């Protein structure tokens, strides 16, 4: 019988060739994983620390696709690409909790000069509604870019032919005139209108809906008798004859809009649905200027002018300490309206 010795000259047990191959492959796989992981890590570090808005732009919309915040960032993304203002541009939707989940995500990216988020009146309201631990003072305000105003509408077959007709019926029995709208901002406009009309906002009825389509449906079916909603959300329904526009909740008359403002009719209702840009905390003054410059270039294009005209956005650029003061003032106004509503 021939006996095969599986030990080497030093007396160590030799592994069979197949086992040695498997060990070698395992070691090789581990090395590959480590190398790739390190490469990804350092790539992320470089992307987070050295990228800026021009060469790696992440545009955050703190809501789902198709909403107002999303529209702003999609328009900006398209123009940045078309005009070669920036490269590697992505829009990231972070919906939930009235925009405060997106705000918290932005807050978790300190120093990231390649990230910018849109927010505005609705986000101020969202922070108050949800009692968010992260507020707009915890991130970096970049610039307010435009304002948008609500339109007051009733069904086409409504007996209320004017704002005064509607107010007279509302005053006589506030609960008999349920309002609807697309969210918290529209309810705040309704509350401001109630105050201006001499009606206690606590006595009003408001039925929130998810966008202009649902608002129009609630009016047509009689679930609601009147509504405030964004002009762009309802203009098709007005033009089609399903809804009747009564007035705009705007500071001044808007070009291309036939309705008077509530202020012109004697009701001081001017709460604007403004949009502003915010960066993460701990970005430098130079980074802030770079982001402003990029969006200034975007807003100088004809495509942006077309978007403003189509959506009835009123340009309202504001930056620096004036913007910080403005946001603080808006926070107080919205807190006051929520108090009036009993919230």
The arithmetic mean of pLDDT across residues 252-275, rounded, is 95
Q: Which two tokens stand for residue 181?
A: 């709208």
Q: 109 vs 92, 123, 125, 224, 272, CA distance in Å?
A: 14, 18, 23, 43, 29
The arithmetic mean of pLDDT across residues 318-343, rounded, is 96
* Per-residue pLDDT, 2: 31
Neighbours of 22 (CB within 10 A): 12
* Per-residue pLDDT, 4: 32
DSSP-assigned beta bridge partners for residue 146: 275, 315
Assign residue 178 a region: left if phi > 0, alpha if psi is -120 to 50, beta otherwise?
Answer: beta
Collapsed DSSP state (helix, strand, coil) of residue 240: coil
* Per-residue pLDDT, 224: 98
Which strands form 140-148's sheet, in the order they lie side by side?
A: 89-93, 57-61, 115-120, 273-279, 140-148, 314-318
DSSP-assigned beta bridge partners for residue 277: 118, 143
Query: 24 pLDDT exceeds 90?
Result: no
* Per-residue pLDDT, 32: 34
The arithmetic mean of pLDDT across residues 108-121, rounded, is 97
Query: 201 pLDDT exceeds 50?
Result: yes
Q: 37 vs 27, 40, 50, 71, 318, CA distance in Å?
A: 15, 5, 19, 36, 43
- Kindly write down the DSSP assignment for every residue of 39-94, as one continuous string: HHHHHHHHHHHT--TTTSEEEEESS-TTSHHHHHHHHHHHHHHHTTS-SSEEEEE-
Query: 182 pLDDT exceeds 80?
Result: yes
DSSP-assigned beta bridge partners for residue 140: 279
* Per-residue pLDDT, 66: 81
Collapsed DSSP state (helix, strand, coil) of residue 148: strand
* Per-residue pLDDT, 50: 56
DSSP state of 12: P
DSSP state of 137: G
Neighbours of 255 (CB within 10 A): 8
* Per-residue pLDDT, 49: 47
The arithmetic mean of pLDDT across residues 282-307, rounded, is 98
Q: Is the separation of the CB atoms in 175 and 327 below 8 Å?
A: no
- Report the chain's mean pLDDT, rounded to a whole number: 87
DSSP-derived pairing of the beta strands 115-120 and 57-61: parallel
Collapsed DSSP state (helix, strand, coil) of residue 229: strand
Neighbours of 210 (CB within 10 A): 11
Q: Is the separation of the CB atoms in 219 and 265 below 8 Å?
A: no
Residue-wise burial string across 221-237, b where 16 or more C-beta atoms lie within 10 A, e elsewhere = eeebbbbbbbbbbbbeb
Query: 292 pLDDT exceeds 80?
Result: yes
Query: 269 pLDDT exceeds 70?
Result: yes
Q: What percent of the chain has pLDDT over 70?
A: 85
- Confidence band of 179 (pLDDT split at 50, 70, 90): very high
The arithmetic mean of pLDDT across residues 205-218, rounded, is 90
The arithmetic mean of pLDDT across residues 93-109, rounded, is 96
Query: 263 pLDDT exceeds 90?
Result: yes
Query: 246 pLDDT exceeds 60?
Result: yes
User: Rounded to two decimals, what is the model's pTM?
Assistant: 0.80
- Confidence band of 22 (pLDDT split at 50, 70, 90): very low
The arithmetic mean of pLDDT across residues 56-80, rounded, is 94
Query: 222 pLDDT exceeds 60?
Result: yes
**Which candidate, 222, 179, 223, places its Cα nearest to that of 201?**
179
Query: CA Rg, the chain, in Å?
Result: 28
CA atoms within 13 A on the CB side of 14: 10
Neighbours of 265 (CB within 10 A): 17
Query: 239 pLDDT exceeds 90?
Result: yes
- Confidence band of 183 (pLDDT split at 50, 70, 90): confident
- Confidence band of 213 (pLDDT split at 50, 70, 90): confident
The arithmetic mean of pLDDT across residues 108-135, rounded, is 96
Q: Which of 48-62, 98-112, 117-131, 310-324 has the lowest mean pLDDT?
A: 48-62
> Of residues 21 and 340, which shows the higher confidence score?
340
Q: Is the separation of the CB atoms in 243 and 216 below 8 Å?
A: yes
Strand stretches in 158-292, DSSP E: 179-181, 206-208, 226-230, 243-248, 273-279
- How far apart are the C-alpha atoms of 157 and 154, rounded to whole Å? 8
Matching residue, tokens 């604007």: 272
């Amino acid at each position: 019988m021939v006996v095969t010795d599986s030990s080497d000259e030093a007396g160590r047990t030799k592994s069979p060739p197949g086992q040695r191959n498997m060990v070698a492959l395992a070691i090789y796989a581990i090395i590959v994983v480590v190398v790739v992981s390190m490469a990804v890590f350092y790539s992320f570090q470089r992307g987070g620390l050295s990228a800026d808005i021009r060469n790696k732009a992440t545009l955050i919309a703190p809501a789902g696709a198709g909403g107002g915040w999303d529209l702003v960032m999609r328009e900006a993304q398209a123009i940045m690409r078309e005009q070669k203002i920036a490269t590697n541009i992505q829009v990231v939707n972070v919906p939930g909790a009235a925009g405060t989940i997106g705000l918290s995500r932005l807050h978790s990216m300190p120093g990231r000069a390649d990230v910018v988020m849109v927010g505005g009146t609705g986000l101020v309201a969202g922070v108050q509604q949800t009692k968010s631990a992260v507020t707009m003072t915890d991130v970096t305000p970049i610039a307010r870019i435009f304002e948008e105003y609500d339109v007051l509408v009733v069904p086409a077959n409504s007996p209320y032919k004017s704002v005064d007709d509607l107010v007279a019926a509302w005053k006589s029995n506030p609960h008999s005139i349920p309002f609807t709208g697309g969210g918290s901002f529209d309810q705040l406009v309704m509350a401001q209108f109630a105050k201006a009309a001499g009606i206690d906002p606590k006595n009003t009825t408001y039925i929130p809906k998810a966008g202009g389509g649902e608002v129009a449906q609630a009016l047509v079916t009689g679930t609601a008798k009147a509504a405030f909603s964004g002009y762009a959300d309802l203009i098709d329904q007005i033009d089609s004859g399903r809804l009747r526009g009564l007035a705009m909740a705007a500071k001044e008359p808007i070009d291309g809009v036939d309705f008077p403002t509530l202020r012109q009719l004697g009701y001081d209702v001017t709460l604007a649905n403004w949009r502003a840009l915010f960066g993460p905390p701990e970005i430098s003054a130079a980074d802030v200027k770079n982001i402003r410059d990029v969006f200034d270039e975007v807003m100088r294009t004809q495509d942006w002018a077309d978007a403003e005209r189509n959506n009835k956005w009123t340009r309202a650029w504001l930056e620096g300490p004036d913007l910080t003061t403005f946001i603080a003032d808006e926070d107080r106004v919205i807190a006051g309206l929520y108090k009036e509503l009993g919230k």
